[in-house]
Amino acid sequence: EERGGISFESEEAKFIFNAERRIERIEQTQRNDAHKLIEECMILANISAARFVEKAKEPALFRIHDKPSTEAITSFRSVLAELGLELPGGNKPEPRDYAELLESVADRPDAEMLQTMLLRSMKQAIYDPENRGHFGLALQSYAHFTSPIRRYPDLTLHR
């Protein structure tokens, strides 16, 4: 929150199995404070790893999230205007402005749709050897480090 990064609230599906190991039902689970704490610790580890390789001038793959294009911002703003909403931040909204918008619509019945539209107005995050920062997290340096058994870029950073 202090950084002004964008926080997307999402629900995950949890599969409940019966004695025969067949899916009995699917329940939605929400992130609790423990999940959020672990997520924040992982983000801090990823930041630290990115800063370490930068300081050491070692080659690395950074997790890059560029700013949204002017066209995407304009399009998103036109949809918001039809709903009586506004994205603050003038011509160059910052992550904090997007976070403020999400917070202001959190109790609306269309909040999930608005969050999805906001997400789709953003550029996709990529891996790049040139660090250009992570817009969504409002960070100057970010790399994936915490899941080397799941993601190859994490493994390369460990090496």
Q: 140 CB contacts (<8 Å, ≥6 apart)? A: 131, 133
Mean of pLDDT values over 45-64: 96
**What is this structure's pTM?**
0.82
- Whether the CB-CB separation of 94 and 4 falls below 8 Å is answered with yes
Mean of pLDDT values over 52-79: 95
Residue 110 has pLDDT above 90, yes or no: yes
Angstrom distances, CA of residue 34 to CA of 4, 13, 30, 105, 132: 21, 18, 11, 24, 30
Q: Residue 38 has what pLDDT? A: 93
* Cα gap 103→8, rounded to integer Å: 10
